[in-house]
Amino acid sequence: MDLPATLAATAAAAALTVFAGWRGARPWDPRKGVRMMPWRWIMVLSAAAVLVLLIHVGALLGVPQRAY
């Protein structure tokens, strides 16, 4: 994946992380019933995707990666 596509995917995953964090932090309303979307789990998975994509951006920019 090239740099512009990686940056776009990183921005989209970061936006999803923020949105899911906002939705997951809202108080539960028992009148509406149970939540159908696991917002906290979506937030964690998209944050992990952001981390992987940031590492990929670093690799595309030439940042050396070391394995310890």
pLDDT value at residue 33: 80
pLDDT in tens, 14-33: 999 999 999 999 888 888 88
Instruction: Give domain status of residue 68, yes or no.
Output: no
What pLDDT score was predicted for residue 19?
97
Q: Does a structural domain hold residue 49?
A: yes
pLDDT for 65: 80
Distance CA 66, CA 53 (A): 17
User: What is the C-alpha to C-alpha distance for residues 28 and 25, in angstroms, rounded to an integer?
Assistant: 9
Question: What pLDDT is attached to residue 64?
Answer: 86
**In the chain, which stretches have pLDDT less than 50?**
none
Given a contact cutoff of 8 angstroms between Cβ atoms, the answer to whether 13 and 53 are in contact is yes
Q: What is the pTM of this model?
A: 0.85
pLDDT score at 20: 96
Neighbours of 55 (CB within 10 A): 12
Split into its structural domains, the chain has a count of: 1
Query: For residue 27, what is the DSSP state?
Result: P
Q: Record the tokens describing residue 39, joined without a space.
A: 């917002």
Domain hosting 53: range is 3-26+34-60
Residue 53 has, within 13 A of its CA and on its CB side, a CA count of 20
